[in-house]
Structure 1
Amino acid sequence: MESVAVVATDRAERYGKQLVGHMSRKISGEWTGQSGYLDFNGRGRVELSAGADALKLELTSDDSETERLEEIVGVHLARFGSKDGMSVAWNRKSSEAGTVQGPYSEEDMKAFAEARKARQKA
């Protein structure tokens, strides 16, 4: 399945590089100049491209993985851009609706931080 998100931002290159840098600690990924990719080890792949006013994310995955991968990528990006009120809305090339992540409030960000601390203690 294919799903696309075009995220409005005047700092597309910065956010693309940050997303790939963060996620490539656990999966394959690379950022070069204005574009990059994230490879979820056979479950899916996201191609990223930075424009002057948006970051474009193009996800290709098995149908069973699409929603999960939209959420993983979208939550990370929306969290990075929380101070800018960033949201990520996915549009599937099929007739199904995609998922939406963000924008996240200050309270949401605190809850994410607390959940992370709890996971680290476990």
Structure 2
Amino acid sequence: MPRSEARVTTDRPHRYAKQLASHLGRKVESSWDDETGHGALTFSAGTATLTAEPGVLLLAVEGEADSLDRLEDVVGRHLVRFGAKDELVAEWHRDNGTPGSVQRNDAEDAAG
């Protein structure tokens, strides 16, 4: 199954991963383990994993090729919105070598 990954640099990877799992858990199946720093999200179109490591939040999504854009967008957009003050950026890299999407707060979004 096609896979895409993003490394999001942050001083608070556990906080953001937990917040993302909690928020998206209102609409999809989610889990988060504070002790291990691992979480998962199950969407109808695929899955996402969250791994908090020192200084970085590792994100991975897997799904059919036509669903990777949407999975990257949903996971990345929510994370970037939560981390607006920290100017988080989710830049996705796909396992087949094609570029993934990028989510970041634009100056207009941050002002609004």
Please indicate, yes or no, whether the TM-score normalized by the shorter chain is above 0.5: yes
- Superposition TM-score tier, normalisation by shorter sequence: over 0.9
Q: Distance in 1 between matches of 2:30 and 2:6?
A: 18
CA distance in 1, matches of 2:51, 2:106: 23
Provide Cα deviations, 1:36-89, integer angstroms capped at 9, x if missing partner.
Answer: 001003x11001100011000111110010001101111000111110111100
Matching residue of 1:40? 43
Whether the 8 Å CA contact 1:79–1:104 is kept in 2: the answer is no
Match of residue 97 from structure 2: 95
In structure 1, stretches of 5+ residues that fail to align are 112-122
Q: Which amino acid is 1:37 matched to?
A: A
1:70-112 CA-partner distances (Å, limit 9, x unpaired): 011110001111101111000001021000000343x30455x
Q: 1:101 & 1:58 partners in 2: Cα distance?
A: 14
Residue 56 of structure 1 aligns with which residue?
Answer: 58
Identical amino acids, percent of aligned pairs: 39
Matches of 2:106 and 2:84 in 1, distance apart? 6
TM-score by length of 1: 0.85
4+ long deviations beyond 4 Å: none
Q: Residues 85 and 104 of structure 1 are in contact (CA less than 8 Å); yes or no, is this contact kept in structure 2?
A: no
Farther off after superposition, 96-105 or 49-58 = 96-105
Distance in 2 separating the partners of 1:110 and 1:45: 32
Looking at secondary structure, tell me which structure has more helix per residue: 1
Richer in strand (by share): 2
> Normalising by structure 2, what TM-score?
0.92
Give the Cα–Cα distance (whole angstroms) in 2 for the partners of residues 24 and 49 of structure 1. 16
Number of the residue aligned with 2:16: 15
| Structure 1 residue 7: Cα displacement | 0.3
**Bigger relative CO (Cα 8 Å, ≥ 6 apart):** 2
Matched residue SS, 2:97:
coil
